[in-house]
Amino acid sequence: MDSLRSILPKVLRKRGLHEHATASMVTYRAEKWLKSSLPRLCDAIAVHELSRAVLTIECANSIALQECRFLIPSLQQELARSCPESVIRDIRVMRTSRKRT
């Protein structure tokens, strides 16, 4: 008997949604990890997207940007452990002028 863990990826691949679902999971787990690692700066940090194996993180101020850059190696290790099916070649941290709501 097939389990949900084995059926779901097959169905998503068949419908062409596997990459989108994987990218969504990576961004969700990265956001959750950053919020737990930097609780005081969680309002200033947003995981934007995973596109072409590059995860983009946006920071609202320079302090959040510096703290995120410091944690990139740990974040890469955590994502490699928790999302082994996704390939992340690079994590880019950018400063943005947009306010998070």
Q: What's the rounded Cα separation, in Å, for the pair 88 and 97?
A: 26
Residue 8: inside a domain: yes
Residue 100: inside a domain: no
Q: What's the rounded Cα separation, in Å, for the pair 22 and 2?
A: 20
Convert the pLDDT of each residue in 68-89 to its tens digit. 999 999 999 999 999 888 889 9
Residue 101: inside a domain: no
CATH code for position 82 = 3.30.300.130
What pTM was computed for the model? 0.83
Is pLDDT larger for residue 11 or for residue 37? Answer: 37
Residue 45: inside a domain: yes
